[in-house]
Amino acid sequence: MTFLNVTEIESALIGLNNAYPRLTQLLPLPNPTHEGRRSHALLIRGNPSFRCRPALVFVSGVHAREWGGPDILVNLAADLLEAYTANAGLAYGAKTFSAADVRGIVNRTDVVVFPDINPDGRAYSMGGTAGSNQAMWRKNRNPASGGGSTGRAGVDVNRNYDFLWDFQTKFSPSANPGTLASADPGSDIFHGTGPFSEPEARNVQWLVDRFPKARYFVDVHSYSGDVLYPWGDDENQSTDPSKSFMNTAWDGKRGVSGDAYGEYIPAARLPEVTAAAAVLRDGINAVRNQGYVSKQGFWLWSTTYPTSGTSEDWAFTREFLNPRKGKLGGFCIEFNRNQNFFPSWAEMKDMILDVDAGLVNLCEYATPSWVQVILCWKLAWWHRIADRFLTFWRRLFPPEIWGPYGPWTRIVRRLERILERFSTRRGG
């Protein structure tokens, strides 16, 4: 075995859908890549009649050279489906989940995996030997901004999402240019020609939008051994809501630590976000004690690591821009403590166990409790009763005979007479 190539990832998803047709749906992503590739995501949903299910959306493969991400997500889907069907639990090294945990996850949540966001980049990177310049390719393969030079092709899809995308306006000129984003097509962090200019980013947007009840979004990257939570543009602060990505008054001030600007995160929300990151981290570390750390994205490395246009920040904006859709936490896992994009397959197998244990741990954490399930059924029951009563009521008293005081024909007739009187008066 070795890393799955682009074709194998697609056939793995189709194969899982064929093997588990009642538990999965294949979701074709709408936007083909520059080289014409079309990708799929896989939805795992047992017991579709349960309607209060939260969704967890897991994506990977956005950076071409980070070879192991898609393998992690394909294995995750296969593990959950196989264990559920066998009514078995799951063991990842020292971390175990019971059969009841697996049943709860599959029956009461939507688990969505989109393993290969950037298939053009992956196909190109895997065409080179590990460590070569070609294998080190990071971006997609869109040549539009490169002026015909192949070395200047490609957009960093993880700087292309609609979160403070216009970094030259939104950030301070002294924000770390090595991590933020770049307007130079030759740069590894070239951000494209506009927010969501790239089909790969639009596919992720489409997928998340399909799940209004998405509560957790996780983008799997390598390397470092960290679990990152928002925000990525500046230090978090919970005291001043006006210091926000939505407020243009702070344009030109973001991305620097220890100054007036910090990105607002409500005081009640911060502990929820850090708790979910800790659930991911603890699930990973329980496998073989790899010492993963959870931290704010802005502090990825020892110095500040400001970023513009990343998926995890974009996902987290939804609850601020559209509170009716509920809370959606955005996270990023940087797997591989050995700081290498191309681990041996033996090392990679261990890391698949690490990260999948973290992701299953988050699924279990997100699974509604039995109390929530009963409340959901009760609510549905009351809705059904109310619907039947309303249908019956409307048949008895059709809306066309309703007067201003309710469906009383007597009042309607009186009103009609009043109107007649007015019209005869006016006529006379």
Give the residues lining the site for Zn ion (CB under 5 A). 63, 66, 221
Neighbours of 15 (CB within 10 A): 13
Neighbours of 278 (CB within 10 A): 16
Alpha helices by DSSP H, 91-184: 99-108, 119-126, 167-170
Residue identified by tokens 């040549």 is: 143
Calpha distance 244→237 (Å, rounded): 10
Residue identified by tokens 């609609």 is: 162
In terms of Cα–Cα distance, which of 301, 330, 331 is closest to 318? 330
Q: Which two tokens stand for residue 217?
A: 């979004």
HSE-up (13 A, CA, CB side) for residue 67: 26
What amino acid is encoded at 103 in this protein?
R
Query: Is the four-CA dihedral 174, 176, 180, 181 of positive or negative sign?
Result: positive
Q: Which is nearer to Zn ion, 172 or 336 (CB)?
A: 336
Q: Which is nearer to Zn ion, 23 or 113 (CB)?
A: 113
Calpha distance 157→119 (Å, rounded): 12
Residue 63 DSSP label = S
Q: Which two tokens stand for residue 357?
A: 């244990």
Neighbours of 212 (CB within 10 A): 13
Residue identified by tokens 């509560």 is: 215
Q: Which two tokens stand for residue 250?
A: 């702070």
Minimum Å distance from CB 61 to Zn ion? 9
Calpha distance 116→113 (Å, rounded): 9
Neighbours of 36 (CB within 10 A): 7
List, in order, residues 6 or more apart from 271 with CB less than 8 Å away: none
Paired sense of beta strands 24-28 and 40-44, if any? antiparallel
Q: Annotate 78-100 with b (16+ C-beta within 10 A) or e (fewer).
A: bbbbebbeeeeebebeebebeee
CB 317 within 8 A of CB 311: no
HSE-up (13 A, CA, CB side) for residue 37: 22
Residue 117 DSSP label = S
Q: Which is nearer to Zn ion, 191 or 221 (CB)?
A: 221
Q: Which is nearer to Zn ion, 34 or 63 (CB)?
A: 63
